[in-house]
Every structure is written in structure tokens, then in C-alpha cells.
Amino acid sequence: MLVTLAEALETPVSVLLGETVTEPKADDLKAISEKLEIINLQLARRKIMRRRILHGLFISLAAVTVVMAAALIWQNSPYLSWDYGDPEKAVAGTMFHAFEWLFVRAAPFILAGTLAGIFLTRKKD
């Protein structure tokens, strides 16, 4: 009889008996899946942003390397004509020569690395 009354009133039997009823939980699996989807989208956006930043840094480093090489070629080693009798010019000329020497040896590797980085971080469609 209690069941019939509960069906007629469209309420659970426990409410008719005066017990506290806990609201049925939302589908836990659906809620977890929605949260995981949000986290997945955030991680995907972060990955895309990181790739874009790296791509820009590789392009910038390649451009700086090319500009520095062009500047060194354009200057044509001006320290070769300096008077090294002056100690300050001798130190400056030695430092300029050391920089130029290291740059000429490192630039091909830097440029190759940046070109590889640009290729590997490009947008893949």
C-alpha cells in the first residue's frame, strides 16, 4: 500500500517514511569525463603555445645569427688595421678577434640547429 501511495504521489517511499533522502549524484563517469576533457584541452593549448614560442625563438636566433654574420662580413675585421701599441686597443682588438673567431666557428652549428628547430616546431597540418 505504501508503494502504491508513493507511485501515486511520485515520491520515494523513504520520503513518505520521513527518512532523509540524499539527492542522486550526477553521473560520476560523465562528470569525470567532462573534467578530463577540460584538462586535456588546457594541456593541448599549453603544448601549442609552447611550440609557437619555441618556433619564434628559433626564427629569432637564426635571424640574429645571419645579421651578426652579415655585420662581421661588412666590417671586414677592422681590428687588423689598429695600432696595438696602445694597450686598450690591444685588449679591444684581441677581444674582437676572439669573438669573431668563435662566432665564425660556432655560427654554422647554431644556424643548422635553429633551422632544424624551425623545421621540427613548424605547424603540422
pTM tops 0.75, yes or no: no
pLDDT given at position 22: 65
Using CA atoms, how far apart are residues 32 and 24, in angstroms rounded to an integer? 16
The 10s digit of each residue's pLDDT in 81-94 is: 888 898 999 999 99
pLDDT at position 2:
64
Q: In sequence order, what DSSP letters do the residues of 54-108 get, joined into one string? A: HHHHHHHHHHHHHHHHHHHHHHT-GGGGS-TTSHHHHHHHHHHHHHHHHHHHHHH
Task: Indicate if the pLDDT at residue 24 is higher than 60.
Answer: no
Distance (Å, whole) CA 39 – CA 91: 57
What's the rounded Cα separation, in Å, for the pair 80 and 103? 17
User: What is the pLDDT at residue 26?
Assistant: 62
The larger pLDDT score, comparing residue 53 to residue 34, is at 53
The mean pLDDT of the chain is 88
